[in-house]
Amino acid sequence: MNEMTLLDTYGPDGPQLSVEALQQARRRLLAEVSAAAADGSVHPRRRRLVARVAVAAAGVAVLVAATLAVMPDTTARAPGGRSVTADAATQPGAAGRIRLVAATAPQFPYSLPGLGTPSFTADPGGPVIAVYPAADGSDVVLTTNTPNESQREPGVRDVTVDGRPGRLVSLFGGSGTVVAVQLTWERQPGRWVTIVGNGRYASEQAVLRLASTVVDRPQRISFKLTVGLVPLGWQLGGFKDGGTIITYLDPAAPSHSLSARWTPQPETPRDSDVEGFQASQTVTVNGRPAHLVRAVQFWRLTTALADGSGLMMLAPRLFSADQVIAVAGSVRVNHS
């Protein structure tokens, strides 16, 4: 993924997908799987993707908090070589709308005992999804959810889980074989949870049994990157690939986003590739040179991290240059 693709997906002008669009995507994908299943070519990875699209299409998610609290421990350097202290960098930005604060550790609110350690993912603005893989290629997906009463899927039937209302639906391949089963239920008043069973878990009995084992035990979400400073009031909006790409959104204006991307080696993208390019300059982040680009609608900063890997950051022009540098200075790589 290059920086322009990253901008298109996560930047200030990134599209906000509606539930209707996600539903259409799910139906198209199901149709593709059905066609492939007719000649026996459905791959397990594709089946799992169908189930996760179904989860994403089910409704609006509950977002978790921002990343681990690590304040920058070195001084950042602003354009012109002057120092920027942490206190100065947390002052409101040029537009007076940004104040940086220490981030807090993100947690997923539920656990499924006996299924091992999950991996986590979340698309921008979507729910955090825990995926519990099995050695045979099966997996279980667990996420939060808010059902949309006006968009009830065909084939959904009502069930109860521990006396609470729920909805159960099976997803079929072209040969009529069940490829995934999805259960959504109200675990507590106003708090809905979804389980999707794939592979050997793709049965009504399996997902109902799994639902009965869900516990209110938060799990800490570990990312490849740790961002120590985020704008006050902004929330974790999405992450991918083990937290090598992290996005924060302003809930009051979701088109405003801050994205950090880790790369194995530092990148040196061309200024001419930046849409709306205005100016660029060399700055210093944690004693290392960084390249800061100012565009019409965003900032882009690229630099090397302490272990020699690379960081690319995109921030809206609501940030001041000092604040962009301060956030970059708060980024750490987790090697565990």
Q: What is the pLDDT of residue 38?
A: 38
Domains of the chain (ranges plus CATH)?
3-60+107-219 (3.40.1000), 76-102+222-333 (3.40.1000)
Do residues 204 and 168 lie in contact, with contact meaning Cβ atoms separated by under 8 Å? yes
Residue 121: pLDDT band (50, 70, 90) is confident
Residue 4: pLDDT band (50, 70, 90) is very low
Positions of E strands within 189-224:
191-198, 219-220
Number of Cβ within 10 Å of residue 129's Cβ equals: 22
Distance of CA 241 to the CA centre of its chain: 9
Rounded CA-CA distance 251/236 in Å is 10
Please list, in sequence order, all residues whose beta carbon lies within 8 angstroms of the beta carbon of residue 178, skipping any fewer than 6 positions away.
Answer: 170, 171, 172, 202, 203
Do residues 244 and 143 lie in contact, with contact meaning Cβ atoms separated by under 8 Å? no
Pick the more confident residue, 165 or 148: 165
Classify the C-alpha dihedral 65-3-244-136 as positive or negative: positive
Do residues 140 and 199 lie in contact, with contact meaning Cβ atoms separated by under 8 Å? no
3-state secondary structure of 201: helix
The token duo for 290 is 């960084």
Radius of gyration of the chain from Cα atoms?
22
Rounded CA-CA distance 181/204 in Å is 6
Pick the more confident residue, 58 or 296: 296
Residue 152: pLDDT band (50, 70, 90) is low
Type of residue at 125: G
The token duo for 38 is 């007719």
**Res. 46: pLDDT tops 80:** no
Buried-exposed string 143-163: b where 16+ CB fall within 10 A, e elsewhere: bbbebeeeeebeeeeebebee
**Res. 6: pLDDT tops 80:** no
Q: What is the pLDDT of residue 127?
A: 83
Candidates 320, 239, 316, 292; CA nearest to 68 is: 239
DSSP letters for 61-104: PPPP---------S-EE-TTS-EE-HHHHTS--TTS---EEE--
Containing 205, the helix (H) or strand (E) segment is helix 204-211
DSSP designation for 136: T
**Res. 262: pLDDT tops 90:** yes
pTM for this one?
A: 0.61
